[in-house]
Structure 1
Amino acid sequence: MGRKLALLIATYAYEDEGLRQLTAPGHDAVALAEVLRDPDIAGFEVTILVNEPLHRVGAVLGEFFHDCRHDDLTLLYFTGHGLKDDEGRLHLATADTRRTNLAFTSLSAEQIDRAMSGCMSRQQVLILDCCYSGAFPAGWLAKGDADVHTLERFQGRGRTVLTASDATQYSFEGDHVSGSAARSVFTRHLVHGLREGTADLDDDGNITLDELYVYVHDKVVDEMPQQRPKRQDNVEGRIVIARNVNWAPPVHLGEEPTARASAPEQMPLLQVTPLSVPTPVPLVAGRMRWVFRTGGCVRSVPAVVDGVVYVGSDDGALYAIDATTGEERWRRMLNAEGVVRSTPIVNGAVVFTTADRSLYAVDARTGALRWERLLGSQTTLTVGIVGSLVYVGASNGVYAYNAEDGQERWRNVGQGMTSYQWMVLTERLVIVGNTGSHVYGLPQADSGKTWATRIPHRSVSGPSALSDDMSLLYVGNSRGELRCVGTSDGERLGEHGVTGKAIYSAPTYVSGSTESPGTIYVGNDDGHLYALEDFSYERKWRFVTGAPVRTSPAVDDATVYFGSDDGIVYGVDVTTGLERWRFSSGGPVRSSPTVMHGLVYVGSDDKGLYALQATY
């Protein structure tokens, strides 16, 4: 038997203010994903997309159908706005859909039909739980009737289509839109029928697609007579979608009933490792104050000083941008190889490194070059200032320069057998880690060495987090372990096995109080952000994203802010780990955010620097 594959797409937050924000879709997708991925019920391999832009949805959807085999069972579920244009054509809205430009900003029914037609699978299920409406603004003349004619748009051999409704009016989410309805009526009964086995109408232990539709249809009409689900199919034979987990064979006369009978002989279900499903999503999307477009990916951490944001880009330029308006103050162009990925250090001058082995200092007000130094080896993209000295991490060592004129004071090279890759500064030490699992404490005043310690399995994160008093250093490694080192002597004080995947971003430490310990926030390549209790390393919570987290979180009193390779910037409650808001950019987010004066400044691989509202 082939695989069972499900792609769930949910959109509840829209950039177009004319599209009302919905309460149900995020919860719908999570609830349905949980029951579909359960190997005892349905055993699907689940992919879930929530509040993604059109390019992301289109790419994943295309790959989903392209990679299928003839004997695979595919299920595509969409919940959100369905829009009918003035020619009567159906479009499914994504987070960046514009009603005035549906052709290029939404997912059309024709695109979905073409993707399904090109798929080799001959068992295709499409489920649409949409709120349908006309997309045209008030005053425009709508062509066509009040029905969407959804089924007509998805005719094809081997397909079954289920819709929650088919009229240009909103599907019902409980009694009203603005309440706290957890799921729509349609999906609520869909999930319940699968999870509890009540959709097994003939009581044979299997839930077919026909049974599921009849069960949900009757439940929806009983509860909401105005809403009429519909079905269309062109499939040979029956499709078994799930097992009835509460099924037991009937007891015949003279037989002793059993407490629990084995499941009936039926089409076997693929046993898979369940995919992670994101934490239930919020009801609010992140609000953008402004976006500034550079000429390349923005991966450095923005520095915000005196109302100006300083940030570098892969186009070889350093930018100074007004923190309130997003207007450019100045830019310092370097060269094609001068990729700027270090965090700018601002102290009258802006000091930063580039990938062409250079160290620059430019005037913070005008961008005029003060001095430039060519380093002896490739920089590790880290730079720091203590007093009158600028410290730079390079692949072969650490360099110290006068902050005023850039003259070299000392260099410390050759301590380790492999390249240095990160650097942090305490009050008296320069601490560096190399690719060979070693961490060194070097004195700031000269080129000596104070201590050395080994971090097993490569210390790949950096620069790493320091406790408030700078006495503790937290380092992640390639096995997903978080380790603690004393900065005075390099003693290893503890560790916590986070996951089996690598930690590529620096942890963030937030101090506690006399009543409660501090918290360490750390991202992981397993697609989670973890909140760990200091000293005990017990997990307070973890938040699931759609891709690896390779940014260092920024934290204020109430919220943790971080980006992920899924192109989303998240705001998560510091105490509960529940999502407060999210913002979708146009590419992976490798720039760690900076929070200042109620705004979150963060870069993206889509060449944008974003200023997002921190609180909602």
Structure 2
Amino acid sequence: MTSTLPDPTRSRAVLIGTASYRHLPQLPAVEANVVDLAAELCDATVWGLPVQHCTVVTDPQSPPAMLDPVHQAGEEATDTLIVYYAGHGMRDSESADLYLALGDSRDHMGYTAVAYQHLRSALRASRARRKVVVLDCCFSGRAARTLVGGDVLAAQAAVDGAFVLTASPRDRVALAPDGERYTAFTGELLTVLRHGVHDGPELIDLDTLYRVLEERLRAKNRPLPQRSQENAVGRLPLARNKARAGRHAPAGPVLAADVRAAMVATGLNVARALRAAGNTRDALPVLRLALQEQIGDGQGDLLALDIAEQGGRRTPS
């Protein structure tokens, strides 16, 4: 196992979440999934990914809206590319393939959604040495299946240097418990990133992450995650283990970029708390202040700002 985290300056993350649907049940927890996961990845004490290297896509309405950011990030990343999707996973009535739902998708009609094979193609085209795919959706184990086994389909579908982590087996639904802030899978993932793993390594690798998620979800009698990998990429450290950090010692070297990332992450958290309390009027200025430096340089996460503004106009569910 490598002894360092992926280089955040040469890595990218694309976090995709579809929460609102016309023909499928609503998934309000998905918005919190992607926003809070972005904050953790950009937290200097977790990984320290620069905010401008983390793209958040909410409620994409077309395949290009979902896949174009993945292609762009794949062209820019040379170390590690992380792609996360949360939303409805679908099966086409004529095949066993996995489809990722869009806002207008209809059940059992794969042509109204995005075929997972198209996302896989975007990953295969990436220059990144390692690719990590996290799917929090129903039937997501079908994606993991394509990277294992000896049949022709698996050979054609394999992504060199990829690790696929899914929320459920190939024929099981994922779980979005009523009244909970997050989906079951992503809620546990965020807990690991925020609090670490007691008795775990200083750096949490993908295999350790999978093992801990499986243990915690099993204990709660919830759908069990699946994984598949190429080239032993499961040994890749993904986050600092906060449970191992000393009370007065930093979790790792903190650079100027890390400090800026932490400030933005804190601003996101404050803005979310204000919005959750119904105080949208103060939430948006806080977010603008957090992103002011990047926006001033023309490199800011304008998409994140636009998302926050759209979210602020939504009627709380």
The verdict on a shared fold, with TM-score over 0.5 as the criterion, is yes
Assess, with a 3 A threshold, how the Cα gap between structure 1 residues 224 and 66 changes in structure 2: closer, same or farther.
same
Deviation at 1:98, TM superposition (A): 3.8
Letter in 2 for 1:235: N
Assess, with a 3 A threshold, how the Cα gap between structure 1 residues 270 and 166 changes in structure 2: closer, same or farther.
farther
Contact 2:91 2:108 in 1 (8 A): no
The residue that corresponds to 1:59 in the other structure is 68
- Note the alpha carbon deviations across 1:545-582, whole angstroms, 9 max, x for none: 249xxxxxxxxxxxxxxxx8xxxxx4746xxxxx327x
* 2:236 maps to which of 229, 236, 239: 239
* 2:56 maps to which of 43, 48, 51: 48
The normalised TM-score by structure 1 is: 0.39
The residue that corresponds to 1:517 in the other structure is none
Give the superposed CA RMSD.
3.5
- Note the alpha carbon deviations across 1:211-256, whole angstroms, 9 max, x for none: 111111100011025x12111111346211011234257xxxxxxx
- Note the alpha carbon deviations across 1:182-209, whole angstroms, 9 max, x for none: 11221111111111112x643x421111
Letter in 1 for 2:163: T
Deviation at 1:99, TM superposition (A): 4.1
Letter in 1 for 2:180: A
Distance in 1, Cα, partners of 2:82 & 2:44: 16
Distance in 2, Cα, partners of 1:89 & 1:233: 19
1:271 aligns with 2:255: no
Assess, with a 3 A threshold, how the Cα gap between structure 1 residues 99 and 218 changes in structure 2: closer, same or farther.
same
- Note the alpha carbon deviations across 1:50-104, whole angstroms, 9 max, x for none: 11212311221221212222xx11111111101110211211012232447532x
Distance in 2, Cα, partners of 1:546 & 1:272: 23
Percent identical residues: 25
The residue that corresponds to 1:91 in the other structure is 99
Deviation at 1:270, TM superposition (A): 7.3
The residue that corresponds to 1:21 in the other structure is 26
Q: Secondary structure in 1 aligned to 2:238?
A: strand
Letter in 2 for 1:164: A
Letter in 2 for 1:271: D
Distance in 2, Cα, partners of 1:263 & 1:180: 33
Distance in 2, Cα, partners of 1:269 & 1:52: 33
The residue that corresponds to 2:144 in the other structure is 151
1:166 aligns with 2:169: yes
Greater helix share, structure number: 2
Matches within 5 A, 1:68-467: 68-69=77-78, 72-86=79-93, 87-99=95-107, 101-103=109-111, 105-132=112-139, 149-154=142-147, 155-174=158-177, 179-198=178-197, 201-202=199-200, 204-225=201-222, 227-236=223-232, 238-248=235-245, 260-261=248-249, 263=251, 271=258, 273-274=260-261, 279=272
- Note the alpha carbon deviations across 1:17-39, whole angstroms, 9 max, x for none: 2x111232111112211111101
Assess, with a 3 A threshold, how the Cα gap between structure 1 residues 25 and 269 changes in structure 2: closer, same or farther.
farther
Contact 2:13 2:55 in 1 (8 A): yes
Contact 1:196 1:245 in 2 (8 A): yes
Contact 1:42 1:269 in 2 (8 A): no
Distance in 1, Cα, partners of 2:20 & 2:240: 34
Structure with bigger gyration radius: 1
The residue that corresponds to 2:280 in the other structure is none
Distance in 1, Cα, partners of 2:180 & 2:11: 30
Greater RCO structure (CA 8 Å; 6+ sep): 2
Distance in 1, Cα, partners of 2:84 & 2:311: 26
Letter in 1 for 2:193: L
Assess, with a 3 A threshold, how the Cα gap between structure 1 residues 270 and 6 changes in structure 2: closer, same or farther.
farther
Q: Structure 2: state its 5+ residue gaps.
A: 1-6, 148-157, 277-287
Distance in 2, Cα, partners of 1:95 & 1:128: 17
Distance in 2, Cα, partners of 1:156 & 1:270: 31
Assess, with a 3 A threshold, how the Cα gap between structure 1 residues 269 and 11 changes in structure 2: closer, same or farther.
farther
Deviation at 1:6, TM superposition (A): 1.2
Letter in 1 for 2:144: L
Letter in 2 for 1:208: D
Assess, with a 3 A threshold, how the Cα gap between structure 1 residues 39 and 79 changes in structure 2: closer, same or farther.
same
- Note the alpha carbon deviations across 1:120-168, whole angstroms, 9 max, x for none: 1121110111034xxxxxxxxxxxxxx9532123532201111110244
The residue that corresponds to 2:279 in the other structure is none
Letter in 2 for 1:231: R
Q: Secondary structure in 2 aligned to 1:83?
A: strand
Contact 2:141 2:166 in 1 (8 A): no
Q: Structure 1: state its 5+ residue gaps.
A: 133-146, 250-258, 283-479, 481-497, 503-524, 529-542, 548-563, 565-569, 574-578, 582-615
Distance in 2, Cα, partners of 1:60 & 1:246: 33
Distance in 1, Cα, partners of 2:244 & 2:202: 5
The normalised TM-score by structure 2 is: 0.73
Distance in 2, Cα, partners of 1:100 & 1:211: 35
Deviation at 1:116, TM superposition (A): 0.8
Letter in 2 for 1:50: T
Q: Secondary structure in 2 aligned to 1:31?
A: helix
Contact 2:67 2:119 in 1 (8 A): no
Letter in 1 for 2:164: V
Letter in 2 for 1:188: G
Distance in 2, Cα, partners of 1:52 & 1:212: 28
Q: Secondary structure in 1 aligned to 2:35?
A: helix
Greater strand share, structure number: 1
